[in-house]
Amino acid sequence: MFAKNVTISALLFSVWLLPLVGQADSATVKTGSPTALQDQKFSPAQLKADLQSLRTFIKDTHPDVGHSASAAELERAFLQIEASLEKPLTANEFWLQTAKLNPLFNDAHWSVNLPQDQTDMQQQIKKNGGVFPLEVHIRPDGELTVLALAGGADTPWRGATIQSVNAVPAAVIGRQLLALRHGDSPINRANLLGPAFQLYYAKVFGSPAEFKLQLTQHDKTIEVTLPASQQAAVLGKDGKNFSDNFSYQSLNADTAYLKLGTFYWPDEQKIGAFTKDAFSKIQQSGAKTLIIDVRENRGGNDSVWIEQLLPYLADQPFRVGSHNKKKVIASRASATEPAGLVIDSEFKTWYQPQLDNPLRFTGKVIVLTGRRTYSSAVQFCNVMQDFAFATLVGEGSYVRSRSTGGVQFFTLPHSKLDIVVPRFWAARPKGGFTEQLLTPDLLLPDDVTASNTLIQAVLARSGAR
């Protein structure tokens, strides 16, 4: 959040491993090792040097470790990992050790990740012959629910619970993978693991040629054997086409719907043209209610919603936060702000409403939040909620409303693991404690197997189906 530019490498990386980290300002991004080096082993001395590089990068970048993590727990984990580095390991084996830090970070903007070459699913499919054949949703207890065939195609098993995979209890698999995943909370980690399940399964359990699955559906047990898939997961990932991320629909005579799947696009003016056209159609339709869907929006640039959306919605001055804490990193250091300095400051920029905008919407606004709403999308929700621009509706509280940002990237010198660390946190406009989660004004269930259910529930409550 709060950044204007995003590097291409950062975006490609975020598709597979992160909720969109479209906040990479002055990020250090290095290329990963070639695929042919995936089996290269690194000596204990090299691995310990990488572990120390990770420690140093966190120390030099993060403004406030205690914002989300326990410094004591992290120190114990670092010492345990260091003690385990007694023999040569591949990058994947080293990641299996260091990724144990990810849940301790308690932040979806802070993570230890596989080298970029090992996150390319097409390379993984080509190298291993296939991947897990289903797209799944994961609960914090490890339970797996079938959403689709790999690649997004529908399946008669949609909604079924996976009981076992190749005779291993599915909940055991889920919990083992969750122990390596980053995120603000246990449920956030689960929501983010689903789209990356194929990758994590392959890196932890390998890539068998076929998968013997035991499913439970409608109180019946089903035995299914599926070959490894040639298709990578698509659900929960950023769509490649503009229309995958941005759409307008008139639900009925009184209700309009805007899907905003991301706050990043290479050409922000295209988003501006889209919103202008949408609000023109809304005005022509005479709609009294507008539903804005950011359930799959993992962030991007704040300028998108500040400049391309709020001019049609704001009816009073607003700011994006109340105060923040930042670490001055080397690339941003100056004579007055040396590297390493931690600064607390207030957000003093207030944006004025465009009350004379002929397309400004004055009806009821409902913002749908969800399992992958994060980063700049959280800042958007904070503003909409704190200034009463909208009613937030969703299933529950998954992520902090006081979120981190300004993520920095670093590649460990030997193993090439990719490290992501934020350089600041920002409190929501009305302030609030670190522990506060983004909480909808109205809690409604959101069926993971049928995303339209929440929309229909909102329409039903308004009596406008």
CA distance 18 to 420: 9
**Confidence check: pLDDT of 82 > 60:** yes
Q: Where in the chain is the domain with CATH 2.30.42?
A: 130-227
**Residue 27 pLDDT greater than 70, yes or no:** no
Confidence of residue 422 (pLDDT cuts 50, 70, 90): very high
Residue 463 has pLDDT above 50, yes or no: yes
- Tell me: the pLDDT tens digits for 295-321? 999 999 999 999 999 999 999 999 999
Taking Cα atoms as reference points, which of 406, 391, 402, 404 lies closest to residue 428? 402
Mean pLDDT of 270-280: 98
Per-residue pLDDT band for 5 (boundaries 50, 70, 90) equals very low
pTM of the model: 0.90
CA distances from 454 to 165, 236, 444 (A): 31, 17, 7
Task: Kindly tell me if the per-residue pLDDT of 8 is higher than 90.
Answer: no
pLDDT tens readout for residues 282-296? 999 999 999 999 999
- pLDDT for 464: 52
Angle at 265 between CA 259 and CA 267, to 5 degrees: 120
Fold exhibited by the domain 1-121+236-465: 2-enoyl-CoA Hydratase; Chain A, domain 1 (3.90.226)
- Chain centroid offset of residue 359 CA: 32
Question: What is the pLDDT of the chain when averaged over all its residues?
Answer: 91
Asked if the model's pLDDT at residue 24 lies above 50, the reply is no
Nearest residue to 330 via CA among 6, 27, 3, 11 = 27
Q: Which string of DSSP letters, residue by residue, matches 392-423?
A: EEES---SBSSEEE--EEEE-TTT--EEEE-S
Mean pLDDT value of segment 380-409: 96
- Contact (CB, 8 A) for 343 and 328: yes
What's the whole-number mean pLDDT along residues 226-241?
92
pLDDT at 230: 97
Domain with CATH 3.90.226.10 in the chain: 1-121+236-465
CATH for 130-227 is 2.30.42
pLDDT digits (tens, 9 = 90+) for 172-204: 999 999 999 999 999 999 999 999 999 999 999
pLDDT in tens, 29-65: 334 444 556 789 999 999 999 999 999 999 999 999 9
pLDDT of residue 243 exceeding 90, the answer is yes
Check residue 207 and give its pLDDT: 95
Tell me what pLDDT residue 101 has: 98
